[in-house]
């Protein structure tokens, strides 16, 4: 991410375990008072942009490790997008939709052992980020 956003500094950290409560619907067999869920480690990023400390964001999700990595990557991309768009007061990354300036939306997928990230349409991204090898 730092390679495509000049002035961005990120430091990753594995956070404390957090309890993610499962949504219990009326069709579930569990009593309403029983809290179903799981413990997961939150993934954190400390963020600085153009020398200004922006703080830390923490993201916790359930699923396999791969699903958690994909989820935190999408959240990170969204956070960075907000920071850059606010700092520049421009849509970032820029995409034209019906002749209107707009922000390309973040997306990511894991194929094999590689995390692929981009903004916009996968076949014609407004911005392609370097792939990350996960193994």
Using one digit for the tens of pLDDT, what is the confidence trace for 94-128?
999 899 999 999 999 999 999 999 999 999 999 99
Could you state, in order of their start, the residue ranges of all structural domains in the chain? 8-133
Using one digit for the tens of pLDDT, what is the confidence trace for 15-24?
888 898 876 5
C-alpha span between 110 and 133 (Å, rounded): 10
C-alpha span between 10 and 13 (Å, rounded): 10
Please report where in the chains the tokens 């309403």 appear, as a residue: 32
Mean pLDDT of the chain, nearest integer: 89
Q: What is the pTM of this model?
A: 0.83
């Amino acid at each position: 991410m730092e390679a495509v956003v000049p002035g961005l500094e990120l430091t990753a950290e594995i956070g404390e375990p957090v309890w993610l409560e499962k949504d219990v619907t009326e069709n579930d067999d569990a009593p309403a008072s029983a809290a179903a869920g799981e413990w997961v480690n939150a993934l954190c990023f400390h963020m600085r942009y153009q020398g200004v400390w922006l703080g830390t964001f923490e993201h916790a999700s359930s699923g396999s490790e791969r699903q958690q990595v994909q989820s935190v990557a999408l959240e990170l991309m969204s956070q960075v997008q907000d920071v850059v768009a606010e700092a520049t007061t421009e849509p970032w990354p820029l995409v034209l939709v019906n002749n209107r300036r707009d922000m390309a939306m973040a997306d990511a997928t894991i194929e094999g052992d590689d995390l692929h990230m981009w903004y916009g349409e996968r076949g014609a991204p407004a911005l392609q980020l370097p792939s990350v090898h996960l193994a």
